[in-house]
């Protein structure tokens, strides 16, 4: 596990997507085993899943399922590691050995909420945690609305399973829309306060998600209906499995292929495959060119 904090000055010069942030992101601390998911050259889609801390169990389950599906299709889950929807989203990614990014409202050495200490370390192992705040900075209330601009900028699309009109998720939604990012939401009962925000933004034109496949379609990939049953068993191997890596490399050596074709031939899920392909790219054994992976 990478326990070192990486400091970046003027990170908007390293990550151009941060140029849309106001106020400017002048510094960034990064920690994790898969910091490549922050990079400009990362091929996977980054999906922000945000919402209320006071989520219902159904809302948390929906966030977790959406995250599982995103990772199974090769995406990365972005959220804020708060209680409720955020924590469920990160957990969904971890359920399937997927990749996830947490944007904190405190220094990287100030884990908040403390209830998520174990989750924090799992996110480091399965992705990255980032913060614009110096080490030892406490999780002050006003830090969280400000950090939401980073979640919006980092995400290619925002999904709201549950949220309130006056909550922090509303801020993230407005920021994402101002940046030109698509926003999706899961509708709920008009009697459920936690469904205020999703229902409101759907009324205003956000994509309505009635099945996780609706999000996959929004991301530009065909998908049959998936359903909301949670995937609970970790049946996949770790990213560094030498057998899987060799299998993937051997097939690419035969011909250049798309990620979905490699997944079909090797039997690797998209989430597994994303990690393996990134390892091989970092080792300069393969490259991504014109939509295909090929031997270098």
- Taken in order 46, 48, 49, 54, the sign of the CA dihedral is positive
How many CB atoms are located within 10 Å of the residue 144 CB?
18
Which CATH number is 242-295 given?
1.10.10.10
Q: What's the confidence (pLDDT) of residue 245?
A: 83
Amino acid 233: pLDDT: 58
Contact (Cβ atoms closer than 8 angstroms) between residue 6 and residue 139: no
What does the domain layout of the chain look like in residue ranges?
Answer: 6-218, 242-295
CA angle 218, 232, 235 (to 5 degrees): 95
Tens-level pLDDT at each residue, the chain (296 residues): 566 899 999 999 999 999 999 999 999 999 999 999 998 878 788 999 999 999 999 999 999 999 999 998 889 999 999 999 999 999 999 999 899 999 999 999 999 999 999 999 999 999 999 999 999 999 999 999 999 999 999 999 999 999 999 999 999 999 999 999 999 999 999 999 999 999 999 999 999 999 999 999 998 887 889 999 998 755 444 433 567 788 888 889 888 888 888 887 777 777 678 878 888 888 889 999 888 999 98
Q: What is the pLDDT of residue 236?
A: 44
Is 267 buried (19+), middle (13-18) or exposed (0-12) by CB count in 10 A?
exposed
Q: What CATH number matches the domain at 6-218, 3.40.50.450, 3.40.50.300, 3.10.129.10, 3.20.20.70? A: 3.40.50.450
């Amino acid at each position: 596990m990478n326990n070192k904090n990486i400091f970046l000055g003027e990170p908007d010069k390293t990550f151009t997507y941060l140029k849309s942030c106001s106020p400017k992101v002048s510094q960034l601390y990064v920690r994790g085993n898969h910091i490549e998911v922050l990079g400009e050259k990362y091929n996977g889609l980054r999906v922000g899943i945000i919402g209320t801390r006071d989520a219902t169990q159904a809302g948390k389950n929906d966030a977790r399922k959406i995250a599982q599906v995103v990772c199974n299709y090769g995406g990365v889950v972005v959220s804020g590691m708060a209680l409720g929807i955020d924590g469920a989203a990160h957990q969904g990614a971890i359920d399937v050995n997927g990749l996830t990014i947490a944007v904190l409202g405190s220094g990287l050495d100030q884990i908040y909420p403390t209830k998520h200490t174990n989750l924090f370390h799992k996110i480091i192992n399965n992705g990255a945690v980032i913060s614009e705040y110096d080490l030892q900075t406490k999780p002050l209330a006003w830090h969280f609305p400000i950090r939401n601009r980073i979640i919006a900028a980092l995400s290619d699309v925002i999904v709201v399973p549950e949220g309130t009109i006056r909550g922090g998720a509303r801020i993230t939604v407005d920021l994402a829309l101002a940046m030109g990012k698509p926003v999706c939401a899961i509708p709920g009962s008009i009697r459920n306060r936690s469904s205020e925000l999703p229902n409101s933004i759907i009324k205003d034109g956000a994509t309505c998600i009635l099945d996780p496949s609706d999000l996959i379609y929004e991301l530009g990939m065909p998908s049959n209906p998936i359903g909301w049953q949670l995937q609970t068993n970790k049946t996949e191997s770790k990213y560094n499995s030498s057998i899987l890596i060799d299998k993937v490399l051997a097939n690419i050596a035969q011909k250049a292929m798309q990620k979905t074709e490699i997944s079909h031939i090797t039997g690797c899920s998209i989430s597994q495959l994303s990690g393996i392909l990134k390892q091989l790219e970092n080792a300069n054994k393969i490259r991504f060119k014109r939509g295909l992976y090929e031997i270098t």
